């Protein structure tokens, strides 16, 4: 997860329009940043510009977004969401910076699966000393709709790669949530009572809700 906000002008509304780079950036990115000189790659009837690491970039101009710009990686793309009235010149100037921030934040904050295992063991010892269950595997996964998932039958846990650069307490909260599912599949009263053991739960929920709000504009 890498979400970057930056203030700019704009107005409010309800619809969302998608604009692709062959429309917005015919030459400017090549002139402005040589590393963006990759030729546009056809994807069906659309074209996308490739970032320096080969990742497609998608621009979303949203009438619902008033001031902030959000940049994040989703489904293999770097998505930059801007207010609808942001000019092409402003977009041209901000794209390399926002892409660079997403990539650098991911590189700086990415955690290995070994660390996921280490953090889970610490959480089990601190919050779940009464649990004998242990995860058979804990892995990063591309997940756009969930923060994590647990299959109780085979004791496997998957954590969304969007959390790779999240604060530690947020990652721990999601991990703790999934560790409880090793024993309790649902989200009933027993589950909620155990989840309440995590002191920063409300703070972590606020962070996750803020991320989703920023992504949706």
Q: Residue 43: left (phi > 0), alpha (psi -120 to 50), or beta?
A: beta
User: Residue 140: CB partners within 8 Å, gap ≥ 6?
Assistant: 113, 116, 158, 159, 160, 161, 164
Q: Which residues contact 196 (CB under 8 A, 6 or more apart)?
A: none
- Please spell the DSSP secondary structure of 66-83, one letter per residue: -SEEEEEEETTEEEEEEE
Among 135, 134, 149, 139, which residue's Cα sits nearest to residue 112? 139
Structure tokens at 204: 């972590």
Which tokens hold the place of 22? Answer: 């062959």
| CB-CB contact of 65 with 82 (8 Å) | yes
Burial of 75 (0-12, 13-18, 19+ CB in 10 A): exposed
> Rounded to the nearest 5°, which phi and psi values hold at 51?
-70, 170
User: What average pLDDT score do residues 94-115 get?
Assistant: 76
Read off the pLDDT of residues 122-142 as tens digits, 9 standing for 90 and up.
999 999 999 999 999 999 888
Domain extent listing, the chain: 4-108, 113-216
Lowest mean pLDDT among 79-93, 133-147, 173-187, 194-208: 79-93
The CA distance from 134 to 212, in Å, is: 30
What pTM was computed for the model?
0.53
Highest-confidence segment of 41-45, 65-69, 108-112, 146-150: 146-150
Residue 140: strand, helix, or coil: strand
By DSSP bridging, strand 77-83 and strand 56-62 are parallel
Architecture of domain 113-216: 2-Layer Sandwich (3.30)
- Over residues 174-178, the mean pLDDT reads 97
Question: Which residue bears the tokens 């497609």?
Answer: 56
User: Average pLDDT of 6-25?
Assistant: 36
Residue 39 · residue 21 · CB < 8 Å: no
Neighbour count for residue 150 (Cβ, 10 Å):
22
Question: What would you report as the CA-atom Rg of the chain, rounded to the nearest whole angstrom?
Answer: 20
């Amino acid at each position: 997860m890498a979400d970057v906000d930056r203030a700019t002008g704009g107005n409010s509304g309800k619809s969302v329009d998608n604009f692709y780079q062959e429309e917005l950036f015919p030459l400017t990115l090549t002139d402005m940043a040589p590393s963006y000189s990759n030729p546009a790659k056809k994807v069906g009837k659309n074209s996308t510009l490739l970032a320096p690491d080969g990742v497609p970039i998608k621009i979303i101009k949203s009438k619902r977004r008033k001031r902030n710009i959000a940049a994040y990686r989703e489904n293999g793309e770097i998505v930059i969401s801007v207010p609808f009235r942001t000019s092409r010149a402003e977009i041209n100037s901000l794209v390399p910076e926002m892409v660079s921030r997403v990539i650098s934040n991911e590189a700086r904050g990415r955690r290995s699966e070994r660390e996921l295992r280490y953090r889970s063991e610490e959480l089990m010892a601190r919050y779940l000393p009464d649990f004998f269950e242990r995860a058979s595997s804990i892995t990063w996964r591309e997940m756009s709709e969930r923060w994590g998932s647990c299959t109780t039958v085979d004791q496997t846990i998957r954590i969304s790669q969007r959390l790779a650069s999240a604060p530690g307490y947020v990652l721990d909260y999601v991990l703790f949530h999934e560790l409880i599912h090793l024993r309790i599949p649902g989200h009933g009263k027993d589950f909620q009572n155990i989840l309440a053991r995590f002191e920063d739960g409300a703070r972590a929920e606020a962070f996750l809700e803020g991320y989703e709000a920023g992504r949706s504009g």
